[in-house]
Amino acid sequence: MKMRGAQRLPLTLDARTHDARLIYIGGFTIQKNLIPKNILLAAESAYKKKADNIVILNLTNIAAFTNYFLICEGNSEPQIKAILEAIDETLKTNKIFPHHVEGKNELQWVLMDYNDFIIHIFLPKVRIYYELEKLWGDAEKIVYQNKKPSSLKGKSGRAGSEDGKMK
């Protein structure tokens, strides 16, 4: 549901409850979203490997080739490899196999295509260059965070206390 004159803010997804709310400027809380389990499994796996800026784009009414993008970043090639392997292992354990994977050798931008959803793992500079969120700006944007939406970030940049642990 779009509202005239109101700018949409990204959804915030609390990973512990898998609850998302669409919030419009002006204080309207409009909608709860259900994110497919497979995408949540992938997002949680990426988060456990300390992926940054995890975003889910809902493309169901925009693209014919997939329903969702999961976009995240790792700060180094070894971290991108670790994120890739964690997601791959988690989804394979759940009998979910990729149609194809690109970028495994270069580890600058890894694309994991599962048909219904596509996972993009970037180095930060590569993510900035390609700007997928801007390219797909009409998509509903869901920001994945494994914390309570009201909690503050500590020095580590993660939710909770200064040591990064949940309170």
Residue 160 has pLDDT above 80, yes or no: no
- 3-state SS of 66-133 is CCEEEEEECCCHHHHHHHHHHHHHHHHHCCCCCCEEECCCCCCEEEEECCCEEEEEECHHHHHHHCHH
* Candidate ranges 49-58, 68-77, 137-146; pick with highest mean pLDDT: 68-77
Residue 29 has what DSSP assignment? E
Q: What is the mean pLDDT of the chain?
A: 76
Q: Does the pLDDT of residue 101 top 90, yes or no?
A: yes
CATH code of the domain occupying 37-142: 3.30.460.10
Tokens linked to 94: 């759940």
Per-residue confidence (pLDDT) for residue 133, from 0 to 100: 92
- Confidence bin at 66 (pLDDT 50/70/90): very high
Q: Is the pLDDT of residue 134 over 80?
A: yes
Find the mean pLDDT for residues 147-163.
38
Instruction: Give the domain ranges of the chain.
Output: 37-142
Q: What is the pTM of this model?
A: 0.71
